[in-house]
Amino acid sequence: MRSVEEQQARVAAAAVAPRPVRVAIAESQGLMCAEEVVTERPMPGFDQAAIDGYAVRSVDVLSVGDGAGEISLPVMGSIEAGARTPSRLQPRQAARVQTGAPMPTLADAVLPLRWTDGGESRVRILRSVRSGAYVRRTGDDVQPGDVAVRSGTIIGPAQVGLLAAVGRDRVLVHPRPRLSVMCVGGELVDVSRSPGTGQVYDVNSYALAAAGRDAGAEVNRVGIISTDPAELRETVEGQVNRNEIVVIAGAVGGAAAESVRTVLAELGEMEVARIAMHPGSVQGFGQLGRDRVPVFLLPANPVSALVVFEVMVRPLIRLSLGKRAPMRRVVQARTLAPISSVAGRTGYLRGQLMRDQDTGEYLVQALGGAPGASTHLLATLAEANCLVVIPSEVDEVRTGETVDVAFLAQRG
């Protein structure tokens, strides 16, 4: 039986980022930048007021507060943000300015409104101001030739804003890996139909497609596919040729799964193995087609399929996106009740994670922690906000002991 870590290493070795594409910056969030974005002009491109107030020469107001008496200056006019007509300040003058307005020539500081009486034709100065105060100088943020966004950076809101600020409407990125999700099983019907005797709804293609989107992939949910060898080969081959990752649920265990694996073996390397984890011990992984696309075979049981996806498939998607930390955040939590696991296998058990308001300590309550039928209840997975990770050498965790807990996506 192979360890979880060994299987994860085999999967990670198959990670390949899709070829970079150029996209609109509005569509780039969450993707990894694939170029050095070099600025061509300074930002800001002109000296501008950082706050609403009065543009002045600092030398004209230096004596305020030094016993020289009250100082007031004539106001030459008002300059709004976006003003395109150049203006010039004469000695011992002030100009009313808005935030972002271009500074008039000779002005080297902005007096905040609260330091004045707010006069319109003449303004009384209550405090002095130093040269450069409340002014954004040309090139304060970036100079021509500076790198605004580096290759390998994950583009977030700040990077999108910076790209816009330097005049870039498109950027080269590593796109989301394309993931295809399909299911096999004669008992399956789509949710748009009523199941007959012996039939069940196709849960996996919907749940796994959602998990793929949550991980950051561009998902194509194929749904239920035929197990007829010719049709199966055509479908799988088509999906392998147009996606970076393929997931087939229901393809381990049973006679139908055996026929699926026979067809897949014609397309490349595929191995079904027992992995030292539960649920989802039996699973398959291989690389098919001319591009050796990673293909996963997952159990038919929805809970097992989702757990295997979380442990094996999701990290591959995150690696393909260029994430430096592909695994979920893990914290240590104290158990609120005993937890049973399967000896010799790493347990990934559903749980509810909470935090003690007084101590800040993490606490966890396992949901259906005992081995057996309860590990397959999809309803408890929907209630879980974490996976409790039980080491393979542990089969019982007592109340109050500390365990590793992996955060799942937060529900809004």
Q: H or E element: which one contains 261?
A: helix 255-265
Angle CA 218–219–223, to nearest 5:
170
Two tokens, residue 389: 């990770």
Q: Tell which residue, 273, 264, 266, has the closest CA to residue 246.
A: 264
* 43 three-class SS: strand
- Region label for 374, one of left (φ > 0), alpha (ψ between -120 and 50) or beta (otherwise): alpha
Two tokens, residue 61: 């107001």
pLDDT at position 375 is 46
The sign of the dihedral angle between the CA atoms of 333, 338, 339, 344 is positive
Q: Tell which residue, 75, 80, 55, 43, has the closest CA to residue 132.
A: 55
Count Cβ atoms within 10 A of the Cβ of residue 151 and give its class: 0-12 exposed, 13-18 middle, 19 or more buried: middle
β-strand partners of 174: 32
Q: Where are the domains of the chain?
A: 4-18+176-321, 21-43+141-174, 48-136, 330-407
d(CA 235, CA 229): 10
Number of residues that this document lists for the chain: 412
Query: Looking at domain 48-136, which CATH architecture does it have?
Result: Beta Complex (2.170)
Kindly report the CATH number that applies to the domain delimited by 4-18+176-321. 3.40.980.10
Angle CA 90–95–99, to nearest 5:
140
User: By 3-state DSSP, what share of the chain in percent is helix, strand and coil, each rounded to 5?
Assistant: 25, 35, 45
Q: Where are the alpha helices (DSSP H) in 113-203?
A: 157-165
Contacts of 365 (CB under 8 A, 6+ apart): 335, 336, 337, 351, 352, 354
| Correct CATH for 21-43+141-174 of 3.40.640.10, 3.10.129.10, 3.90.105.10, 3.30.70.270 | 3.90.105.10
Kindly list the averaged pLDDT for each block of 10 residues, start to end, along the chain of length 412.
94 86 93 88 87 93 68 91 89 93 94 91 90 90 84 91 90 93 88 85 93 93 90 93 94 76 90 93 93 94 93 93 84 92 92 90 79 52 86 92 86 42
Q: Tell which residue, 175, 141, 190, has the closest CA to residue 161.
A: 141
d(CA 67, CA 267): 90
Query: Looking at domain 330-407, which CATH architecture does it have?
Result: Beta Barrel (2.40)
Q: H or E element: which one contains 382?
A: helix 378-383
pLDDT at position 67 is 52
d(CA 302, CA 351): 17
Judge if the upstream peptide bond of residue 44 is cis by omega within 30 degrees of 0: yes
pLDDT at position 255 is 67
